[in-house]
Amino acid sequence: MWKYISRRLIQLLPVLFGVSVLVFFGMHLIPGDVVLVLLGEKASAAELERLRHQLGLDQPVYIQYLRFVADALRGDFGVSIRTRQPVIWEIQQALPVTIELSLAALVFAVILGITIGVISARRPHSALDTGAMVFVLIGVSMPVFWTGILLLLVFGGILGWLPLGGILDTSLTIRRITGMPILDAVLQGNWPAVRSSTAHLILPAVTLGSVLMATIARMARSTMLDVLNLDYVRTARAKGVAEGGVVGRHALWNALLPVVTLIGLHLGLLLSGAVLTETIFALPGLGRLTITSVLARDYPVVQGVVVIGAVIFVVANLAVDVLYAWLDPRIRYS
């Protein structure tokens, strides 16, 4: 197992190298003089020259690249043009919000997706199954941003059950420990804040998780159907194992394997969806930070967010692969 993990880690190195090259030279492809973009048209020649020197832009390109990599490895992505804060500080503020949101979305997607898939597979082609599959087809095709708007309209606006956005009621405050609102509130034993931050997370999590939920349901249904027809399941039935035991204990675990792969394949979808979800629900996460910095042409932040985003994505994919290899030992040897 360790051998497998270390082999996969070594395979990551060229990918991360490529990411750094792409991000570094990508920002160099931006038309126009970066210094001019940063300072605006009115800056004097001396000011331009000073900033160019400060940013190391008067050095040869390969030196600039090496400096970029060396700084990035120390977590130094420079200073935001918009807020004058270090980029890494901005990311540290935003990242935990996105992690909590993504985990909540993942939990929602896995639990509801598998439940729907298993229920459908129990009675294939029944009315319940057909209804579930229509629901799933709509779920896969729904644009995340419309799902969010509809949920807000119904549960936030018309019914008024859930808040319309943000992470906490304005009357409450939580001291920052991890940066994840619910976790921080729990750690401080601040129960009103736990209630409020959970209420604020429900709609975003459902919005973000909806596509993955539908995809999981579809996959769980088809693998469950395959597994339920296998010999060992028939043997279990013949032995007199109760139907719940057959489905829950014998079939479900084997049907879960493709679901794990699917989660790995769709992590990118989750992170992409976070940009849209955080925009709709005004959550101060990484996605929101990305879009505001792209729109404001705040290139140091864009660079930092992209590198961190790619690293997280690659590492998360690795984690899924390791989980998969642990569930199915055959993979480690291929």
Partner 1 sequence: MARSADSIQLSARATSAARESRAVALSWRRLRRSSNLVVGAVIVVVVVASAALAPWLAPYDPIDQEFTNQLRPPAAAHLFGTDEFGRDIFSRVLFGARIALQVGVLADLIATVLGVLLGVVAGYVGGRLDALVTRVLDVMLAFPYLLLAMIVVAILGPGLTNAMIAIAVVYTPQFARVVRGVVLSVKEQDHVEAARAIGAGPIRILARCILPNIVSPIIVMSTLTIGFMIVETAGLSFLGLGASPPTPEWGSMLATGRSFMLTAAWITTFPGLAILVTVVAFNLVGDGLRDLLDPRLRGRL
Binding site for partner 1 (CB under 8 A): 14-16, 18-19, 22-23, 26-27, 29-31, 137-138, 140-146, 149-150, 152-153, 157, 219, 222, 258, 267-273, 275-276, 279-280, 290-291, 294-295, 297, 299, 302, 306, 309-310, 313-314
Instruction: Name residues whose C-beta falls within 8 Å of residue 5's C-beta, 6 or more positions apart in sequence.
Output: 322
Tokens for 231, please give them: 């010999």
Instruction: For residue 38, count CB atoms less than 10 angstroms from its CB and return exposed for 0-12, middle for 13-18, buried for 19 or more.
Output: middle
**How many of the other CB atoms lie within 10 Å of CB of 281?**
26
Taking the C-alpha atoms of residue 77 and residue 69, their distance in angstroms, rounded to an integer, is 9
How many Cα atoms sit within 13 Å of 166 on the Cβ side? 12
Taking the C-alpha atoms of residue 241 and residue 326, their distance in angstroms, rounded to an integer, is 27
* Smallest separation (angstroms) from partner 1 to the CB of 107: 20
Tokens for 273, please give them: 């969806």
* Smallest separation (angstroms) from partner 1 to the CB of 236: 25
CA torsion angle for 320, 326, 329, 332 (degrees, to 10)? 50
* Smallest separation (angstroms) from partner 1 to the CB of 225: 12
Minimum CB distance to partner 1 smaller for 1 or for 282: 282
Tokens for 125, please give them: 């082609």
* Smallest separation (angstroms) from partner 1 to the CB of 45: 26
* Smallest separation (angstroms) from partner 1 to the CB of 41: 17
Tokens for 64, please give them: 């600039």
Helix (H, G, I), strand (E, B) or coil at 86: strand
Minimum CB distance to partner 1 smaller for 77 or for 299: 299
Minimum CB distance to partner 1 smaller for 185 or for 213: 213
* Smallest separation (angstroms) from partner 1 to the CB of 17: 8
Minimum CB distance to partner 1 smaller for 142 or for 172: 142
Minimum CB distance to partner 1 smaller for 57 or for 241: 57
Minimum CB distance to partner 1 smaller for 55 or for 291: 291
* Smallest separation (angstroms) from partner 1 to the CB of 52: 20
Q: Quickly tell me which residue has 């404001």 as its tokens.
A: 296
How many Cα atoms sit within 13 Å of 269 on the Cβ side? 21
Minimum CB distance to partner 1 smaller for 150 or for 177: 150
